[in-house]
Structure 1
Amino acid sequence: MNRRVFCYSAAFMLLVTPLPASAEPTRAMLYKNPQCSCCEGYAAYLRKNGFAVDVKPTTELAEISRKAGVPEQFQGCHTMFIDGYVVDGHVPVKVLRRLLSERPPIAGITLPGMPEGSPGMTGPKRAPFTIYAVLKDGAPPTIYASE
């Protein structure tokens, strides 16, 4: 086969071969305090990184986190449910993707508080973020990642 025939054949195959369907984005439901704007920033950050995020304002945030197994001292400023896991706080997308790919047998993960420089928060990052694993058996959270 000469080069011209090969090139025409290859170009034809590219035109007639269907492209694979793109995967649907992973859906998430984020519960937040109605007055909190940083949570909207976090949702925008997730959307920018390919997630489909619905945001629901609520005054019952602490109760939602508690029922999901997140101890009070480990709660973030919003609670999200994604693919069977609870994610509390401004967890970086790299750690979120790790959770969703590894699928560990835990209830979820949390970045407590509102650390400056975390996704959705203003200011510079001053130290590594410690993300904790929320265990299913009610045991105290353990370190899942440092980012």
Structure 2
Amino acid sequence: MSNTATHLPSDLPRRRLMTGIAASLALAAVPALASKPEKIAVEVWKDPNCGCCVDWIKHMEDNGFTVTVHDSGNTTARAKLGLPTRLGSCHTALVGNYLLEGHVPASDVHKLLKQKPKALGLTVPGMPVGSPGMDGPDYGGRKDPYDVLLVTRNLMNSDVSTSVFTSYR
């Protein structure tokens, strides 16, 4: 019987070390992959020709949202979701059970979804320059002050009221 058949190859300890390192690296990556948050679905109704809406959608996608777009205008969607015209803007969105109207920053949407207040949602009435989607190069870095409003509905009489959710100054 030959001795070479019973001896381990001289590079076996090196192979074991390399296999161990590879396994450790793979296991270290698993929590990072597992903890990567799922993208949050947002449905948006907008005018097909609105460029600032497209910019807001990109802002949302860059901040952890996946967006489905309806280029059919937003007046009907806004009305169905119960938001008065006086609180309107150029696009209406739905995330979870909350409406979003206008150029609401993604950070406020994340905050809303974390806090889960009893509310219809958030609105940025009008189209304030400097808000997400209204902050492109055409505006020359201008940033007007604006408020993100939390919209609530009185269950007794269906009146809609607002309070400042976040103020940008």
Instruction: Compute the TM-score of the two structures, normalised by the length of structure 2.
Output: 0.73
Aligned residue pairs, count: 140
RMSD: 2.3
Matched residue, 2:152 = 135
In 1, Cα distance between the equivalents of 2:29 and 2:55? Answer: 37
* Runs of 4+ deviating beyond 6 Å: none
Which residue number in structure 2 is paired with residue 146 of structure 1?
167
| 1:67-121 per-position Cα deviation (integer Å, ceiling 9, x unaligned) | 2121111111100000110000001112111111111110101000111111111
Partner amino acid, structure 1, of 2:145: P
Match of 2:143 among 112, 126, 133: 126
Deviation, 1:125, is 4.1
Contact kept, 8 Å, 1:110 with 1:133, in 2: the verdict is: yes
Alignment-derived partner of residue 85 in structure 2: 72
The sequence identity of aligned pairs, in percent, is: 30
Selected match of 1:34 from 48, 52, 65: 48
Tell me, yes or no, if the aligned pair for 2:129 and 2:144 is still in contact at 8 Å.
no
- TM-score with structure 1 setting the length: 0.83
Q: Which amino acid aligns with 1:97?
A: H
How far is 1:140 from its partner?
2.2
1:114 is aligned, of 123, 127, 130, to 127
2-structure distance, mates of 1:95, 1:83: 14
Q: Secondary structure at the match of 2:161?
A: coil
Which piece of structure 1 moves more, 14-23 or 137-146? 14-23
Secondary structure (helix, strand or coil) at the match of 1:106 reads coil
Conserved 8 A contact 2:101-2:125? yes
| Structure 1: gaps of 5 or more residues | 1-7
1:91 aligns with 2:88: no
Q: CA deviation at 1:35?
A: 1.7
Per the alignment, in what secondary structure is the counterpart of residue 99 of structure 2?
strand
**Based on CA coordinates, which of the two structures has the bigger radius of gyration?**
2
The unaligned stretches of length 5 or more in structure 2 are 1-17
Higher relative contact order (CA 8 A, sep 6+): 1
Q: Which residue of 1 aligns with 2:62?
A: 48
* Structure 1 stretch displaced more, 98-107 or 13-22: 13-22
Residue of structure 1 equivalent to 2:26? 15
